Amino acid sequence: MKLVNIALTCLICANGCLPVFSQTASVHQNRNSQKNSAPGDLNTAKPTVIADSGGTASDTTPNAGPSSSFRCGPVARPSEVPWWKNTVIYEIYPRSFADATNSGMGNLKGITGKLDYLADLGVGALWLTPCYPSPQVDFGYDISDYCAIAPEYGTMADFDELVREAKKRNIRIIMDLVMNHTSDKHPWFIESRSSKDNPKRDWYVWRDGKSKDQPPNNWQALFGHSAWQFDPKTKQYYYHFFYPQQPDLNWRNPVVKKAMFDVVRFWLDKGVAGFRLDAINTLYEDPELKDNPTKPGKNAYGDPNMEDKYNYLLLPEIHAALRDLRSVLDKYPDNPVLVGETTAEDISRLVSMYGRNNDEIQLPMNFRFAYVDKLSAPLFRARIAEIDKNSADGWPTFLYSNHDRTRHYDRYAAGMANDSDTKDRITKLLAAMLLTVRGTPVMYYGEEIGMENRDPQRLEEVQDPIGKLGWPKEKGRDGERTPMQWSADTNAGFSTAKPWVPVAGNYKTHNVATEEKYPDSVLNFYKSLLKLRKSEPALREGDYKALNTDDANVLTYVRNKGKDTVVIALNMSNRAQTVSIDPASCNVTSDNASVLISSSPKVSGAISVRKLELEPFTAVVLRMR
Ligand SMILES: [Ca+2]
């Protein structure tokens, strides 16, 4: 799968004083989804779950509720283990999660109505993709008011209720923050484009053309064609890394930075627990506007391939901006967190996002892990190793899927399986890795029930501008944004009205109501893992050590904290495998183990790790005795 970084946008405040954010998302151009697979029976691979009594979860106290006292509170000192190391983040695409008003689109009241489900599932923080007022050119990532709620999603009172009700269930709220750009309908930009001498002219990136009818340079927008838009009124071009309706803010103007940080305070004062930073790589551009190097061939939009060297690099300026942003958060109690949509190109850039003194982004999302494009024990082993012992001593953050990325239920089965039984086995295997490796997992709504992708079938169906521009080569991102599958009823129980995009094909078998009834469902496997994670300190805080590192088929590792030793073995192949683990490699003397969780009923009870037999795509979690 060829992956390309894309940007999405969203905005926060409307009233002159507040800032704008822009968000960049990672998007793929070629998809391997198995979307046409026929829905099958719910999994037949019975997971064995042996409840193990244990300690208590340390992820207990959510961010304090709305309170104006936050603003001038004492500087927060990190507790021994900040909450964001022990939690599991769950990404919600508000438009598709739950529709409380039967409008065909999701809304905040819908999310609030599902908090009991989310608490029962066991996640601790909800990252909401943008729900600010927006013309929806890029589905919320083009923000026209950073400090309000889009009417289609509800009211600020609805948001306050969501924060309040979530807190009662020990769940925090993380907002999406789009700092790179605003909507062209944001009052800031309307002022900026009104005249060359407007006070907000320098809030955006305006330049003269290189010559008549020639933009300032050859930079291309991520969503196709020139990144410069000519404005006839003032006869200058403005810069947009994403759509023309998403003008980039000028982060070299300190007033812009101040305005955006005011937005951050606005939401922290409302009790949010942090921000997911959109498209953070795009914040700064080369001040000399040097042309980017071109490469052979053309992209999905018909433009020359190009290396976005001078408008996408992590220019040094980004680190100072992130440190300043972090210092705003650190003045609030309960360790507010920054989650970053960061670069995947190389590990050093990812690690740099933690900051030299761990003073920038606490949780830069690891897209190098998410971009592993096949079930491969060596590849995943390498991607885990490079971040587990990183030079910044940063805390790892893992994910597979999001609103820009084909659902992994389809991705990893591509080329191997088209039946739901095998896909369920693979998705359980991946769940076991995500929830037992050292770091903070980020789940995408619906992955816990095995939601599949549903790409548009015809151009007329496409909602996502990327799909409209790139059809048919690029079908856009509608396929991973389909309505949450709550039941086998019409529209998957999401809404009685026609949903804004069709539900995915496997909703009859893969939905919350049905899966809750089956002990062996994907949903109940996730729940068991999330519960185990809370009760096993080794899984949350223990060291990570890879075992059997030459094994090409089975990823095996041990997590250890004090006397608590847990071994995880994941057969990533389509053949049965036998694994032999040396107890000494786990710092224990006995080869006796008890099965905590297995995705196969054939591995259960007390066993020896000297000879561990694993069926295809089987995951086991063992406690060493
Ligand atoms: Ca920018």
Say how many Å lie between the CA of residue 230 and the centre of ligand 1.
17
Task: Please tell me whether residue 219 adopts helix, strand or coil conformation.
Answer: coil
Statement: residue 90 has pLDDT above 80: yes
Report pLDDT for 74.
40
Report pLDDT for 3.
33
Say how many Å lie between the CA of residue 180 and the centre of ligand 1.
5
Task: Please tell me whether residue 526 adopts helix, strand or coil conformation.
Answer: helix
Say how many Å lie between the CA of residue 439 and the centre of ligand 1.
30
149 Cβ contact partners less than 8 Å away, ≥ 6 residues apart: 108, 131, 132, 133, 155, 156, 158, 159
Report pLDDT for 375.
96
> Over pLDDT 90: what percentage of the chain?
79
For the ranges 1-15, 71-85, 416-430, 485-499, which has the lowest average pLDDT? 1-15
Task: Please tell me whether residue 277 adopts helix, strand or coil conformation.
Answer: strand
Grade residue 118 by pLDDT with cuts at 50, 70 and 90.
very high
Report pLDDT for 494.
98
Q: Is 278 a catalytic residue?
A: yes
Kindly list the distances between the CA atom of residue 82 and the CA atoms of 85, 335, 340, 356, 362, in Å, as whole numbers in the listed order. 6, 7, 17, 19, 10
Say how many Å lie between the CA of residue 29 and the centre of ligand 1.
22
Report pLDDT for 314.
64
Q: Give ∠ CA 97-248-277 in degrees, rounded to 5.
A: 45
* Exposure string over 85-119, b if 16+ CB within 10 A, otherwise e: bbbbbbbbbbbbbbbbeebbbbbbbbbbbbbeebe
Q: Structure pTM?
A: 0.88
Say how many Å lie between the CA of residue 283 and the centre of ligand 1.
4
Q: Is 341 a catalytic residue?
A: yes
Task: Find the catalytic residue in 278, 360, 464, 551.
Answer: 278
CA-based end-to-end distance of the chain: 42
Q: What is the pLDDT of residues 198-232, one digit of tens each?
A: 999 999 999 999 998 999 999 999 888 999 999 99
Report pLDDT for 505.
96
Say how many Å lie between the CA of residue 258 and the centre of ligand 1.
16
Q: Which of 73, 608, 613 minimizes the C-alpha distance to 329?
A: 73
Say how many Å lie between the CA of residue 24 and the centre of ligand 1.
10
129 Cβ contact partners less than 8 Å away, ≥ 6 residues apart: 10, 91, 92, 93, 94, 140, 176, 403
Say how many Å lie between the CA of residue 241 and the centre of ligand 1.
7
Task: Please tell me whether residue 177 adopts helix, strand or coil conformation.
Answer: strand
Q: Rounded to the nearest 5°, which phi and psi values hold at 243?
A: -75, 160
Grade residue 301 by pLDDT with cuts at 50, 70 and 90.
confident
Q: Which of 118, 127, 120, 62 minimizes the C-alpha distance to 93?
A: 127
Q: Which of 28, 617, 88 minimizes the C-alpha distance to 373?
A: 28
Give the span between the Cα atoms of 478 and 245, in whole angstroms: 20
Q: Which residues pair with 226 in a beta bridge?
A: 220
Task: Find the catalytic residue in 145, 341, 520, 536.
Answer: 341
Farthest CA pair distance, the chain = 78
Token pair of 9 as six digits: 């946008």
For the ranges 39-48, 58-67, 300-309, 550-559, which has the lowest average pLDDT? 39-48
